[in-house]
Amino acid sequence: METKNIIIVGVGGQGSLLASKILGHLLMNQGYDVKVSEVHGMSQRGGSVITYVRFGDKVYSPVVDKGEADFIVSFEILETARWLDCLKAGGQIVTNTQQIDPMPVITGAARYPENLVEKMRAQGLKVDAMDCLSLARQAGSQKAVNIVLLGRLSHYFDIPEDAWQESLKANVPPKFLELNKKAFELGKHFIS
């Protein structure tokens, strides 16, 4: 199988590392060669962060370059737009519609672009957008945005439900498992 590429983007501290961990675990158990590349340190302090997940028969590079991503999974809509040039022609976007103002917007030095989802759709891009924060709160914690997104992403994969559940179980603390299962279901069955 040709290598498939996923990028997970968001704002430092939103929980992308856990999402990539669950995804990596799942894909390895499906028998794929997998590489996941993360960035730690300075960028985690509220900066723009990107995590790469690649899987296939044999994966070499740990990073996804421009025009290569089959999926963009995004925690924040401005970040979706920032990393859009990574998307492959025909690639799928799964994004949270939440807006988090970056410091240049807060200080008034820059403006937060409007109607990003509509603009992307107008370009013919496949955008699956939803308010993951509300769904995460519905599941019991606003921190579960990452799992809501994974639930939505599972929609586009031909991987059995119990394999996702197993990976979830292996990577989240037992006391939060039920909450995360609920978040996963809410994301998976969301109707846009």
- Verify binding: residue 123, other proteins, rule CB under 8 A: yes
In SS3 terms, 75-95 reads as CCHHHHHHCHHHEEEEEEEEE
Residue closer to other proteins, measured from CB, 33 or 185: 33
- Verify binding: residue 138, other proteins, rule CB under 8 A: no
Sign of torsion over alpha carbons 162, 163, 165, 170 = positive
Tell me the number of residues near other proteins by CB under 8 A: 63
Cα–Cα dist 159/42, whole Å: 35
- Verify binding: residue 161, other proteins, rule CB under 8 A: no
- In the complex, the smallest distance separating the C-beta of residue 100 from other proteins, rounded to whole angstroms, is 8
Query: Which residue has 């929609």 as its token pair?
Result: 155
Query: Which residue has 């979706």 as its token pair?
Result: 80
Among 110, 155, 156, 161, contact with other proteins (rule: CB under 8 A): 110
Among 4, 6, 19, 38, contact with other proteins (rule: CB under 8 A): 38
